[in-house]
Structure 1
Amino acid sequence: MTSEPFVVRLEVRSYDLDPQQHVNGAVYQQYADHSRFACVQAAGLVVEDLIADGLGPVNLETNIRYHAELRGGDEVDVTCAWVWGEGKTYRVEHVLTRADGVLAAEVTHVSGLLDLRERRLVTDPAHQWRVRSTQPELMNLG
């Protein structure tokens, strides 16, 4: 297992802003999605291969907790930490921290792997991710 969560740094772009000149709420989810996808890639997984195998990652629930504004030109570190348990679902937790150290938001997903043929969640998603990964520790599967 890795002791530190995966992290990417992003710059807030002008088109991420709403009329109040802070990041639009939906963009926080996009930042989390970007971090999660980058983590999956860094772990050696190819999402197209996963889909070709008949599996697709799905988000079943998303919660965003806002703490401080993100504004144009800010840089934000977005972590990605995978939390595994028993059953068909798992959590992916993201912490968004401005470059100045201020906590901006927390985004948490309840996710699963959908069997694209049966249209049902697979029973052991951690196993499916682990067997396809070259660096499973990045997904807390080591």
Structure 2
Amino acid sequence: MKEYAYRLDMKVRDYECDLQGIVNNAVYQNYLEHTRHEFLLARGVDFAQLSRAGIDLVVTRAELDYKASLTSGDQFWVGLNLVPNGRLRFNFEQDVYRTADQTLCLKAVIIGAAINDRGRPFMPEQVAQLLLPGSVKA
């Protein structure tokens, strides 16, 4: 199994499931976003505070590969690694695993960027520090 710089444990709630009894595909985006926000917060980067300062972290692309389904009550965890993607972008590589059997349920690459208060892309120091080699540890 891959090593991750960050891991967040969660549980599927009933209302997140569709008529088939499995987690709706769009709900995985919420799991991934929550994990990204918690990762940043754990590293001293407050997403809401950045926004108030005129720095918006935005998703520019989301690649999701669904591998297996989660159902109501399943315990699961999301693993995350942050890697640079050029000069102004960064990738959140995220995987979702069902805890009971460690089955990979979802592989995702979320490509992000930062936008300043003038609407221009830039790399804020808070994020740049996280992208330095060896700066993001488990």
Task: Mark the CA change 1:62 to 1:34 in structure 2 (over 3 Å): closer, same or farther.
Answer: same
> Which has the larger share of helix?
1
**Cα deviation per residue 1:39-78 (whole Å; 9 max; x = unaligned)?**
0110012223212321110000111101111111111110
SS at match of 2:80: strand
Count of equivalent residues = 132
- What is the RMSD of the two structures over their aligned residues, measured on CA atoms? 2.1
Counterpart among 124, 127, 130 of residue 125 in structure 2: 127
Q: Percent identity?
A: 24
- Match of 1:109? 110
SS at match of 1:22: coil
Task: Mark the CA change 1:139 to 1:113 in structure 2 (over 3 Å): closer, same or farther.
Answer: farther
Residues 1:52 and 2:60 are matched in the alignment: no
Contact 1:84–1:126 (8 Å) recurs in 2? no
**Structure 2: which 5+ runs fail to align?**
none
Amino acid at match of 1:95: D
- Match of 2:7? 7
Contact 1:5–1:138 (8 Å) recurs in 2? yes
Amino acid at match of 1:90: F
Amino acid at match of 2:115: L
Deviation at residue 107 of structure 1 after TM alignment: 1.6
Tell me which of the two structures has the higher relative contact order, counting C-alpha pairs closer than 8 angstroms and 6 or more residues apart.
Answer: 1
TM-score by length of 1: 0.84
CA distance in 2, matches of 1:110, 1:75: 26
Task: Mark the CA change 1:49 to 1:23 in structure 2 (over 3 Å): closer, same or farther.
Answer: same
TM-score by length of 2: 0.86
CA distance in 2, matches of 1:8, 1:50: 22
Contact 1:42–1:138 (8 Å) recurs in 2? no
